[in-house]
Amino acid sequence: MDLCDGMSLRGGPGGLEDDIVTQLLLSRGVARDDLERHRTPSLRSFLPDPSAFRDMDAAADRLVQAILTNETVTVYGDYDVDGATSAALLILLLRALGHQARYYIPDRLLEGYGPSGEALVRLASEGSSLIVTVDCGAMAHEALEMAHNAGVDVIVVDHHKCAHELPRAAALVNPNRLDEGELAAGHGHLAAVGVAFLLAVATVRTLRRRGFFETRREPDLFALLDLVALGTVADVAALHGLNRALVAQGLKVMAKRENIGMSALIDASRLGRAPTCSDLGFALGPRINAGGRVGESTLGVRLLTTSDPDEARDIAGQLSRLNDERRGIEQEVQEMAEAQIERQHNRSVIVVAGAGWHPGVIGIVAGRLKEKTGKPALVIALDADDAGNGKGSGRSISGVDLGAAIIAARAEGLLIAGGGHAMAAGLTVASGKLDALSDWLDDRLAADVSRASASQAVHLDLALAPGGLTPDLVETLESAGPYGMGWPGPRVAVGPVRVVKADTVGKDHVRLIVSGQDGSRFKAMAFRAAETELGQALLHAHQGRRLWLAGRAKIDDWGSRPAAELHLDDAAFAD
């Protein structure tokens, strides 16, 4: 698509078929008769009947029973953003229904991922007759068996890959169950907080049918969507279909700043405007994560459920400080991990391990290695004495199902524990089996990685002359958001241009000032690229050759008036 061909931004004389957003939606597989639903994604248009999910009605009935009989309910969450927001959502729901629930978030270092049988039994002994696990539990066979034997019911709300044999539970709600029906399985991209929201809908509907709201007001479920948006984006869930609607509406709720803890988090992130989808992933989410990674695991849930502004401000400040600490730890581990990948250039899956590495940052480092190498990456923190087990976290590339591979490796006896979903996984491995695991993963995933890498072309949504990169264009493209995993921001190609100035800013970001033949100028940024092949080429491109630049069009609002800039993914010589 080229603006020079007269394509209008919002319809114009050419009608709807000439609208850039319409063409963008069509190019992403949206049927022409379904355009309006995707142009303005709403819950009314995308929300499925929760009863389509296996065990959803059983879970809602059991939760309603606990509410009506005032049982002691504990929400058992994971320590990441998806776990914290899922737990907070159910706690706030129950609070709105007049029920005070407890919560339990395991310590990452002492207890690891997933429900601990010992913890479940202890919660039962302390009076809980119902435990709801969120963002964990799908593979917790032994722990849930212990809970059953202790006489406590467990509802599992999860989205991670399941094995054929499910753990023993009063209900297990997970769109990634292997026995799930077609409609529910089509929502396998939901984060756990999205599944928890569907349980909230089912619970309120069940209470309504039982006349619970004849004398009281129904809770405002829409008010919980800011939590859903944050957990969905931070967990890198694919933003298409229902997820896109949940995030779009959740951002609107977040802008109202009605959740006291969320408002304090926004202030601590120093955002002077309503948060965007990018802010959830790069500003708000990392702060919630920092509590579980390097601090106290309960901080996120406490922040998102508090009604005390002073407490919220204190916790948000603490999370910001922990996030700064996390960055330092992450940098140290990343440098050591990158030193190891130089010896793995012929591997399809990068597996690195180190004694004493902080388990709280290995997932982030795995993501960095994945971006650097273009391959799935596993980062494993070994016990400090290098003689025991290692806890690992992995990140994958599109087209390579890492979660399924980890579950299969566990079945092969290569892992003590493991699970996940297509793009991310966690594991526990004996240090003596690291080499065998690395070889096995390389064998199993080599063909998938090869196919995925071969298809990693730079796909363009729009090509334009330099003068066409304007704030109006950015605003138009943003209207087809929110963007994220599975619904990436439109990539535009701009050119031909000449580099007027190229320099390095910050630690390793490349900044360009470029000009076109039409006399227009704009800024382009290549983040964390100074030492890459692309960055080096850009820094020396001022020698005269013209370029086409490809990336995401953004607004630069640092100056006296907003201007459009380009965040680079790639570049090519024009002549």
Q: Does any domain span residue 267?
A: no
Q: Kindly state the tokens that stand for 352.
A: 């690195």
User: Nearest-CA neighbor of 520 among 558, 480, 473, 573?
Assistant: 473
In the structure, what pLDDT confidence band is assigned to residue 2 with cuts at 50, 70 and 90? very low
Is the confidence at residue 443, as pLDDT, over 50?
yes
Q: Are strands 102-104 and 73-76 parallel, antiparallel or unpaired?
A: parallel
Write down which residue in 425, 454, 483 finishes a domain.
454
- Rounded to an integer, what distance in angstroms lies between the CA atom of residue 73 and that of residue 71? 6
Question: Are residues 135 and 82 part of one domain?
Answer: yes
Share in percent of the chain as helix, strand, coil (round to 5)? 45, 20, 35
Q: Is residue 8 very low, low, confident or very high in pLDDT (cuts 50, 70, 90)?
A: very low
Q: Are residues 368 and 408 in the same domain?
A: yes
The CATH number given to whatever domain includes residue 536 is 2.40.50.460
Q: Which residue has the higher pLDDT, 242 or 110?
A: 242
Q: Which residue has the tokens 């190498």?
A: 373
Let me know if residue 231 belongs to a domain. Answer: yes
pLDDT, tens only, 335-347:
999 999 888 888 9
- Residue 18 banded pLDDT, cuts 50, 70, 90: low
Does residue 299 lie in a domain region?
Answer: no
Same domain? For 156 and 225 the reply is yes
Q: What is the pTM of this model?
A: 0.86
Report the CATH number that the domain containing residue 81 is assigned in CATH. Answer: 3.90.1640.30
263 found inside a domain = no
566 with 524, same domain: the answer is yes
At 49, the pLDDT band (50, 70, 90 cuts) reads very high
Q: Per-residue pLDDT tens for 172-229?
A: 999 999 999 999 999 999 999 999 999 999 999 999 999 999 999 999 999 999 999 9
Write down which residue in 454, 469, 498 finishes a domain. Answer: 454
In DSSP terms, 389 is beta-bridged to 430
Q: Do 375 and 404 belong together in one domain?
A: yes
Q: Are residue 493 and residue 465 in the same domain, yes or no?
A: yes
More confident call, 124 vs 485: 124
| Residues 173 and 69 placed together within one structural domain of the fold | yes
The identity of residue 495, as a single letter, is: G
Are 531 and 483 spatial neighbours (Cβ–Cβ below 8 Å)? Answer: no
3-class secondary structure for 357-412? CCCCCHHHHHHHHHHHHCCCEEEEEECCCCCCEEEEEEECCCCCCHHHHHHHHHHC
* Average pLDDT of the segment spanning 359-383: 91
> Do 184 and 249 fall within a single domain?
yes
Poorest-confidence range of 75-79, 129-133, 291-295, 556-560?
556-560
Bigger pLDDT: 533 vs 310:
310
Percent of the chain scoring above 90 in pLDDT: 77
Location of structure tokens 């002492």: 110
Which residue in 535, 489, 472, 533 sits closest to 508, CA to CA?
535
466 and 520 share one domain: yes
Number of structural domains, the chain? Answer: 3
Q: Report which DSSP code applies to 218.
A: P
Question: Measuring CA to CA, which residue among 251, 209, 233, 255 is closest to residue 201?
Answer: 209
Residue 233 falls within a domain, yes or no? yes
Sheet holding 130-134, edge to edge: 102-104, 73-76, 130-134, 153-157, 171-173
Query: The domain containing residue 448 runs over which residues?
Result: 345-454
pLDDT of residue 574: 86
- What kind and span of H or E run contains 491? strand 491-505
Task: Give Cα 564 distance to the centre of its chain.
Answer: 27
Average pLDDT (339-365) is: 90
Together in a domain, 533 and 450: no
Residue whose tokens read 């004849």: 214
Q: How far is CA 418 from CA 141, 162, 163, 299, 435, in A?
A: 12, 11, 11, 26, 17
Element (H, E) at 145: helix 141-149
Q: Which two tokens stand for residue 110?
A: 């002492």
DSSP 164: S
Q: Are 448 and 507 found together in one domain?
A: no
Judgement on whether residues 448 and 530 belong to the same structural domain of the protein: no
How many CB atoms neighbour CB 137 within 10 A?
Answer: 30
Cα–Cα dist 205/489, whole Å: 36
Let me know if residue 132 belongs to a domain. yes
Residue 291 falls within a domain, yes or no? Answer: no
Q: What is the pLDDT of residues 86-105, one digit of tens each?
A: 999 999 999 999 999 999 99
- CA distances, 63 to each of 51, 99, 129, 146, 345 (Å): 15, 11, 11, 21, 51
d(CA 421, CA 395) in angstroms, rounded, equals 10
CATH classification at residue 424: 3.10.310.30
- CA pair distance 136, 426, nearest whole angstrom: 11
CA 13/CA 18 separation, integer angstroms: 8
What pLDDT shows up at residue 385? 59
Instruction: Please report whether residue 20 resides in a domain.
Output: no
Q: What is the dihedral of CA 523, 524, 526, 530, to 10 degrees?
A: -60
What per-residue confidence (pLDDT) applies to 344? 86
Query: Does residue 309 have a cis peptide bond before it, meaning omega lies within 30 degrees of 0?
Result: no
User: Of 454, 481, 510, which marks where a domain is finished?
Assistant: 454
For 188, the token pair is 């396998």
Span 446-475, pLDDT tens digits: 999 999 887 767 789 999 999 999 999 999
pLDDT of residue 17: 47
Given a cut of 50, is residue 325 above it in pLDDT?
Answer: yes
67 contact partners, CB below 8 Å, separation of at least 6: 94, 97, 98, 99, 203, 207
